A and B are shown apart, each in its own frame.
Chain A
Amino acid sequence: MSADRQLLLFQVGARVFAAPAKDVRRVGGSLLEHPDDGVPDTALGRPWEARRGLVVDPGDGSERTVLVDGVLGLRAVAAVQALPAFAREVMATQALCGFALIDEVPTLVVDLPALVRERQRGPSAAGREERNDHG
């Protein structure tokens, strides 16, 4: 069992996403606990209730809490498949790792720190920048 393949499943609105467990510092309670560093709105959408928060380090050592509707659990997957090239090209966000087949359903694996950074910088900027990176 490799730590890289441990995914934390969470829910934003009606959709289930996954994130590498290593990216999540901890799971927090409701927004009331993190009023200042909450990230309520990301490319994944806006949660309905924001009962949980995923505490991540955006890359600068700080802590930001991505607000989600719920945390479903941890899963270990065999592999994370890359996004189909076309999809990656046209998505508005580049904070995506790929897909993992969870219960035979392709589940999007999200790069949480990148997601937070995108929000900090602005989404369109993130898109252009990342595309240029891919070349």
Chain B
Amino acid sequence: MNARTLWRRVRHEAERAWIIAEKDIRLYYAKPPVIMWGIALPFFMFLSWSVGRNRPVGSLIPGLVAITVFFTASSIGPVVIPWEKRARTFERLLTAPVSLSAILLGKTLAGVIFGMAVAVLPILVGVIALGAHVTDPSALLLGSLLAAGAFASLGILFSTIPGQNVGAVMMPATLIRWPLLFISGLFVPLSSLAWWGRALAYLSPLTYANDIVQQAMGGAGYFHPAVNLAALAAFWAVFLVAGLRLHEIGRRKGI
């Protein structure tokens, strides 16, 4: 394949990925499971966490932003893909002239946009009404983007759990997502964790997402911002490649 053909193919695949993302945005953002698992769940979790705590509500906003991006972006894959498998529309995509990588990239893009769009809400409310500040907008934007990418790819990985029922895929996915909340420095700062707790925290993408958002909103960070951004980019790539690989295996097995 020469450079020109390769470029045409890359452009073609990117266009198809965007077409798929656009379709997912239009069709699935308002689906009840997406609203429930992606928006209502983090909102109520934040309420249960913040109510009664002896801290200004504004200082809790970075944590809420990180949780929101985490839950919303990682909800698209495990809701939309089983949904489409059940309706056999996923099959339609697989037999169209588009690679599996582009299909999954499209689904990831839909998750990224969803995660970032919903995260705007707590940032606005925090800044306008609760005294929160954005001290480094570019770090907030880039950090949120990479975090949303990592979490959306994590959602793609979850969607490889066999099953065409959203609940059958979402339940195990939630069992993995919830523990991450407790080992990512959201409730207990990383500096206060035991060595083994910190070791676990390093394995969670939410740790780096929370840390970069804290720094962008005037809080103290644990890692250097560049470390956070690099870690989130690496998680994005690893989850997407692993998700692609597992989807390919499932396809060979006829799942």
User: Are both chains from one complex?
Assistant: no
